[in-house]
Structure 1
């Protein structure tokens, strides 16, 4: 909650400082609008989150090898995410975007991937594991926290129905990111997939709050894979097993 409050405060401050360079009616309408209106607040929030992580002595554990590995079926999670990314890439009308917008989108994706994974698959999971919870509890609660983070979109004027759909999707996606971390043994895999998911989704749909179209075969495939991803994430929550048996040692950064 503290991070979200800080992020919203920074966002408002940046919007007032760079009001002339941020198009509030079309936030993705220019590279400067994407970078200043979307990426910069996340990056600044990420710096604050990084400092907190260092102060808590969790940096080494979060970015180091995972203390518990996954089972073979868990590879379905990252496989679905990769399939969705490929479908979005092939279904994007690249000619409708400038080179600057595309580059800015991937900068935004990098910021989102690092910061949101550090917050949820990093700090939240580490805190829950240190509290000796089972991995099922860790997976569900961390994914739920990730999903509920997106309710702040209500403050930006997003419709309630869209926010509700986003929360359901992000829970499923969060579960897939958790499974990605389990089977690869590192948070970096989840960061990379997350960093590619957001920009390719935005570029494919044509905006931040717009659903991916189904007018093309690639769009239809992307929509289908997204549904499968959500369903799999919800079902997977019932099958996660395991527990970190021994308290993890704290490594100062």
Structure 2
């Protein structure tokens, strides 16, 4: 059985976009199932006032389901012998222009860290939210930029295809936000943003040479966004906080840069790297 999963001609090592989709859908099913179980077992402990009303709320509603999801996707990668390669050095060299993705993602994080009203949260909320963000980064990056990218590369796709499909799968994961609220304009905007955020995460992974930096960037983006708005997938509206106002431009910066990047991504596993003069 181990040979079936891990051999050179094994099921996963043959790659394929549909296998990347399969991993994503399976992860979502497990994540949602765990969320339901946690709600049934611990829902009576949730305090009134929303997810960020208490550290216990954040732990029950966010940390436990996403933490379990992170452990499960990591265990899956271990089982098929991929965790070490996924966490290892990227096989495709990044280009200097890709560092722009780091700046585009980093500046809103920094501004939110400065501008968040930490005193407005109950004890422990900020700490648990930051820990939750780390697990979000681990889980979602291992699913999409980890397993997804590896499966697409093993199928022989060019890097632009790898970037687009893995980012589309990342956006697909956020369709769960429509559960209970319905498919609205807000969800459409969220899907567009998450697609291009996925492109930025792919570029960060490429230019730094490691998925670890994408995990860190992702793991800081979500909790600082939650804490700056007081909710999930909530925009900053009517604030007089200059730090958060400027940080809110980061969403458009991600979308615009991600759109331009689609025309610049090159390469394929096994192709020789172009000389510096010919690099885009």
* Deviations 1:61-90 (CA, angstroms, capped at 9, x unpaired): 100110011111110001111101012112
- How well do the aligned residues superpose, as a CA RMSD in angstroms? 1.5
**Contact 1:136–1:240 (CA under 8 A) maintained in structure 2:** yes
1:101-112 matches, cutoff 5 A: 101-112=125-136
1:142 equivalenced with 2:184 (yes/no):
no
| SS of aligned partner of 1:18 | helix
Q: When the two structures are superposed, what TM-score results if normalisation uses the length of structure 1?
A: 0.93
1:227 equivalenced with 2:266 (yes/no):
no
**Contact 2:171–2:198 (CA under 8 A) maintained in structure 1:** yes
1:116 equivalenced with 2:140 (yes/no):
yes
Question: In the aligned structure 1, how far is the partner of 2:112 from the partner of 2:242?
Answer: 11
| SS of aligned partner of 1:8 | helix
Distance 1:24 1:142, change over 3 A: farther
Unpaired runs of at least 5, structure 1: 247-253
Q: When the two structures are superposed, what TM-score results if normalisation uses the length of structure 2?
A: 0.84
Q: Which residue of 2 aligns with 1:74?
A: 98
Q: 1:65 aligns with which of 84, 89, 109?
A: 89
Q: 1:5 aligns with which of 29, 46, 55?
A: 29
- Relative contact order, higher structure (CA 8 A, sep 6+): 1
**Contact 2:190–2:233 (CA under 8 A) maintained in structure 1:** no
1:93-242 matches, cutoff 5 A: 93-157=117-181, 160-213=184-237, 214-242=239-267
Question: In the aligned structure 1, how far is the partner of 2:116 from the partner of 2:269?
Answer: 42
Q: Which residue of 2 aligns with 1:251?
A: none
| SS of aligned partner of 1:28 | helix
Distance 1:66 1:4, change over 3 A: same
Question: In the aligned structure 1, how far is the partner of 2:125 from the partner of 2:176?
Answer: 24
Query: Which structure has the larger Rg?
Result: 2
